[in-house]
Structure 1
């Protein structure tokens, strides 16, 4: 994942998309109204900043900035966090891949089409 460099290379911005199961939409939104502090801490400790998730109908769009120097290493640390794994056990069943792309099982990285500072 390459992301898009913003602010003179100080951060890389990433965008992702996934659908939410219509019958799980309310549950997903309720979970995110009270995100577990350790989940946020794991992301923050590993360089994620300015993280937002938007929803339109049953499609979720997430965007964040990455401020570290080894994205793959830092994302592996987030993946290894036990509390984050438990969180995903709750949020994962609420999601279904966006579009028909072979091998994609969750959030799908989007390509930046335009950016303005």
Structure 2
């Protein structure tokens, strides 16, 4: 399993809207995430800085890298553009983080 951490930014006045949109995640988006190897995905909000911390676990980097080009992902980015900082292609402004520590209890 590959663990990935990253930071994004939501507009300060859009915290509730960002959360609402994720609570209503489209079933076809969820299906596409699973199809591209996501097994675990969480996003956390720091309300003071409007920073989002994302954490996901994927099966394979190559499989995951194809997610961005899917029609549903492009549609999601366009839907989320009004609530968060985005790049010209509407993808979220993202800062990838390097894992420096991990423990996992094995049974």
Is this a same-fold pair by TM over 0.5?
yes
Shift of 1:72: 3.1
Hey, what's the Cα distance between the residues in 2 that align with 1:59 and 1:39? 23
SS in 2 for 1:96: coil
Q: Which residue of 1 aligns with 2:51?
A: 59
Gaps of at least 5 residues in structure 2 are: 87-91
| TM-score normalised to structure 2 length | 0.80
Aligned residue pairs total 97
Partner of 2:89: none
- How far 1:44 sits from its partner (Å)? 0.6
In the TM superposition, structure 1's runs of 4+ consecutive aligned residues that sit over 4 Å from their partners are none
CA contact (8 A) 1:38 1:84 kept: no
TM-score, length basis structure 1: 0.74
Question: Which residue of the partner structure matches residue 37 of structure 1?
Answer: 27
1:94 corresponds in structure 2 to: 83
SS at match of 1:28: helix
- Matched residue of 2:52: which SS? strand
Q: Distance in 2 between matches of 1:79 and 1:31?
A: 19
